Amino acid sequence: MSLPPDEGTLNSLIGQTVKALREKSGLSMRELARRSGVSQPFLSQIERGVSAPSMVTTYRLAEALDVLPGALLPAPATSQVTVVRSGEGRSIPVANRPDAATGRALLLQPSNPLEIIDYRIEPDQYIEEWFQLAGDLAVYLVSGVLDVEVEGLPTVRLHPGDLLGHPASLRHRWLLVDNQPAHALLAIAHAPEGAVRRPPART
């Protein structure tokens, strides 16, 4: 049984993948940075394997390259059955800041439009990043209390056992309640690779 790559090796593989997809799309680093809203210096760090992309950066790069988010990660061994054991799955911060909450990618594969992320959010961790992407999502709360803000709509408070679903193209974010920990599962059905994936422009 082969061991998964260490963090440094994984970052290098992700960087190589991003660079290869960028070059395949005929984009300069400057143009990809412009399309994704990621600064060119940070994009250079990602391609060189110096820095790892956060969840929001992964989504932005995937959208700009018109691929599924999982396409930016090294491909796992091919199998019709996926098993992710406790403690396995790549940890990806929600934002590019040291106090960002981290999600564990249970399902995030190059050719699979279904994504499942396990979030165990601790007090004082940053979770309030706004997200907006093509597809549909659902969040299921395992424990704790979580507020979900969808721009232009009333805030929804989730309790254990509650599920909320909405188009991922609606700008949204999560908030802890009373700075208490929460455990949530996020499932996203992304638009198929190669489809028109950009969410509606904000007005």
Side-chain half-sphere CA neighbours of 112 within 13 A: 19
Q: What is the pTM for the complete model shown? A: 0.77
What is the spatial distance between Cα 28 and Cα 18, in angstroms, rounded to a whole number? Answer: 12
State pLDDT tens for residues 142-188.
Answer: 999 999 999 999 999 999 999 999 999 999 999 999 999 999 999 99
pLDDT at res. 196? 44
Name the 3-class secondary structure at 41: helix
The mean per-residue pLDDT over the stretch 185-202 comes to: 66
Could you tell me the domains of the chain?
Answer: 7-72 (1.10.260.40), 91-189 (2.60.120.10)
Q: Do 141 and 114 touch, CB atoms closer than 8 A? A: no
State pLDDT tens for residues 88-119.
Answer: 888 899 998 999 999 999 988 877 889 999 99
Given phi > 0 = left and psi -120 to 50 = alpha, else beta, which region is 19? alpha
156-158/146-150 β-pairing? antiparallel
**Does residue 127 surpass a pLDDT of 50?**
yes
